[in-house]
Amino acid sequence: MDQYPQRGMQYPGGNSANFCVYASMAGHQASYLGVLGGDVHADHIRRSLSSFDVDLTHTRNTELPTNLCRVTLTNGNREIEDSTDYDLFSSCPILLDDADFKYIARHDLVHTSLYAHIDDQLVAVRETGAMVAYDYSNFWSTELVRSTCQAVDIGFFSFPTRSWEEGKQRMLDLYSLGCGLVVATAGKRGACVYNGRRFYEKMPYHLEVPPVDTLGAGDAFLTGFSIRYTQGMKLRKNMEANLHMEWQRDDWEDYEDRLIENSMAAGNLIASYVCGVEAAFGCGLELK
C-alpha cells in the first residue's frame, strides 16, 4: 500500500499490480499471479484489483502483513520510502507449479521484476510461449542482467539521474550482455529504446500540464509499450507461421521501426492518463 500522510489517504499499488490494472484499462484481460497478505490492506488490494476485472485465481494468500510505502508529493512529483523493514515477496516467494505454467501459457505477455524473486524460474516462464517483460528498475546490477536476460524479451530500466549521453552508453552495455530490447525511462526527460540497430527516443505527452501524481507513470509506460510491442511481434510470428512469409531485411527493419515508435506512443498515452490520477490508480482508503 502507498501511504500519503499529506492527504491522510492510502492506495493500492506495486509495479505488477499496477501493470495488471493498466492493462485492464487498455481493454485486455489481465491476471495477477503474486502474493497478498492477510490484513485489511491486502483485503483492500483484492477488492481494488477485482474492481478492474483482474483475475486473482492463482494469487497466493498468506497471513503476513502487507508492504507499506510512505509517499510524499512535491508539485505532483512523488518520492517513495519504505515504511516496513521486510519484503512480503522475499519472505514468501512464489514457487510456480504445473498448474501455474499452464495458466501462464494462456497469456501472451508476462510482466515481472527484480522484486518478484522468481529469477530462477524465468526460463520455465519463457518456455510457456509468453513474452517476458522484466522491470529491472534502477536497482539492477550487471550480474542480475547477465543471469536473467536470456529469458527476457523486453528489459526495462530506470535512469532517473543519468544524462542520455551516459544512458545510451549504458544501454549499449546492457545490450551486449544479451538483453534483446533495452527500454530506458527517465521521468520527464522521456524514454529511449535500443534494439541493437538504433536508438529511438520519445518525450512524454502533456509536459505542459502539471501532474496530479507521477506515481505509477513508469509502470504505465512499461505497460503500454510492452502490450503494443507484444501484439506487433505476435502478428509477425503468425504471418510467418501461417503464411510462410519470408521477410526482406529492409521490410523487417521498417516494420520494427514503426512498431517500436508506436509502442512508445502507446506507453506515453497510458502514462499521461496515470499522471492525472491520485496514486497509481486511485481506489483510496482513509489512512488511520
Tens of pLDDT, residue by residue over 103-130, are: 999 999 999 999 899 999 999 999 999 9
Mean pLDDT of 179-199: 95
In a domain, 246, yes or no: yes
Q: What residue numbers bound the domain in which 23 lies?
A: 2-283
| pLDDT score at 82 | 67
Mean pLDDT over residues 274-280, rounded?
A: 94
**Can you give the pLDDT at residue 83?**
58
Arithmetic mean of pLDDT, 177-193: 94
Instruction: Tell me the CATH number at 244.
Output: 3.40.1190.20
Mean pLDDT across 16-29: 97
Which of 44-53, 70-79, 187-196, 220-229 bottoms out in mean pLDDT, i.e. has the lowest?
70-79
Q: What is the mean pLDDT of the chain?
A: 92
Other beta carbons within 10 angstroms of residue 156's beta carbon come to: 26
pLDDT at residue 6, rounded to an integer: 87
Strand spans (E) along the chain: 2-4, 9-11, 35-36, 60-61, 69-74, 77-82, 109-113, 131-135, 154-158, 182-185, 191-194, 199-202, 285-286
What's the domain count of the chain?
Answer: 1
pLDDT of residue 255: 95
**190-217 average pLDDT score:** 93
- The rounded percent of the chain whose pLDDT value lies above 70 is 97
Is residue 288 in a domain? no
Q: What is the distance between the alpha carbons of residues 44 and 198, in angstroms, rounded to a whole number?
A: 44
**Mean of the pLDDT values across residues 248-275?**
96
Q: Calculate the alpha carbon distances from 259 to 47, 81, 136, 246 in Å.
A: 35, 36, 22, 18
Residue 224 lies in a domain: yes
pLDDT at 246 over 90: no
